[in-house]
Amino acid sequence: METLAYFDLAATYENTTNVESDPDPLKFFDEFNWKPPSSAWIRLLSTMIAILILSMTNGVFAAGTISARVNTNGSELHVRSSPGGRVVGSLRNGSQISLTGRNVNGWLQLANGNYVSSLWVRRGSSNNSDGTTTPSKGLLKVGDRGSEVTRLQNSLKNRNFYNGPITGYYGDLTEVAVRKFQASKGLRVDGIAGPQTLSTLAGNSSGSGNARVATRGSSLNIRSGPGTGYRVIGSLNNGSSVSIYATSNGWHKIGNNQWVSSAWVNS
């Protein structure tokens, strides 16, 4: 009897062990007639997912950028880590930049996350199909094309600084002429016709009267309209010669959409 009871206990233990043992994980899918995909299908699926992610990422960046240019009338523009934060770099006058569209109290965010002052950035410069660019307001540089460049070339030619053909294209000959003119007037020589260069050039043409900037040393702001509520688009050095085309409420018009305070001009 004791021997029979022992065999019954052993058989019960073996059956219990077999029931509780872990099944083959792949046998579970046999019930559904499912087989794992091949390695080729896995690679194809991974590639399609990667392409989809990249296309979505590129679309986000492309949709969020705005083309603009630095317009400092010669000096470099500081790049800061945050609005009004520490300086982390600089941009040359005329440099093309990409903006995210975010404006924090007059500070524009660059595509790389840094910030620049909105006072020295001009939007609206666009690339043409022939590789030239449409001039930004108040700034002409190499690669620009249009009627503003034609006027610049004519003005330089009339003053014997430009000897090339009148093409309306800002090329090497025009840049050399602008540099010569800037050097002759004591301006910053950078070959870019910014507000100060254009204003000085206009100051030698017919106006209601020639005048000089008298600020006791500091530079005089050029604004887009007659008043401090208009944005600053450039500056004039003390002693610069200008022509006055009109006067309104204590402001002199010295060029196209270019105004200075009459308090700092001796006519």
The pLDDT, as a whole number, for residue 88 is: 92
pLDDT bracket for residue 82 (50, 70, 90): very high
- Residue 177: pLDDT over 90: yes
- Residue 261: pLDDT over 50: yes
The pLDDT, as a whole number, for residue 114 is: 94
- Residue 80: pLDDT over 90: yes
Average pLDDT of every residue of the chain: 75
The pLDDT, as a whole number, for residue 16 is: 46
The pLDDT, as a whole number, for residue 206 is: 43
CA distance 77 to 88: 11
The pLDDT, as a whole number, for residue 62 is: 41
**In this structure, which long-range contacts are made by residues 19-27, counting pairs with CB atoms below 8 Å and at least 24 apart in sequence?**
none
Token output for 43: 């690679």
Q: Is 144-202's fold the same as 210-266's?
A: no
Higher-confidence residue of 74 and 146: namely 146
- Going by C-alpha positions, the residue among 168, 246, 234, 175 that lies closest to residue 199 is 234
Please, which residues bridge with residue 78 across strands? 90
The pLDDT, as a whole number, for residue 55 is: 55
- Going by C-alpha positions, the residue among 181, 179, 157 that lies closest to residue 168 is 157
- Residue 128: pLDDT over 80: no
Give the model confidence (pLDDT) of 197-219 as tens digits. 888 887 644 444 568 888 888 88
The pLDDT, as a whole number, for residue 121 is: 82
CA distance 151 to 154: 5
Query: 210-266: which CATH number, 2.60.40.1220, 1.10.3720.10, 2.30.30.40, 3.40.50.150?
Result: 2.30.30.40
Mean pLDDT of 173-177: 92
- Residue 20: pLDDT over 60: no
Fold of 66-123: SH3 type barrels. (2.30.30)
Mean pLDDT of 224-253: 85
- Residue 113: pLDDT over 80: yes
Task: Give the sheet arrangement for strand 265-266, strand by strand.
Answer: 241-243, 210-213, 265-266
Mean pLDDT of 75-89: 90
Q: Where are the domains positioned within the chain?
A: 66-123, 144-202, 210-266
The pLDDT, as a whole number, for residue 96 is: 83
On the 0-12 / 13-18 / 19+ scale of CB atoms within 10 A, 28 is exposed
Q: What is the pTM of this model?
A: 0.36
Domain 144-202, CATH class in plain words: mainly alpha
- Residue 125: pLDDT over 50: no
Give the model confidence (pLDDT) of 85-95 as tens digits. 899 999 988 78
Mean pLDDT of 230-251: 83
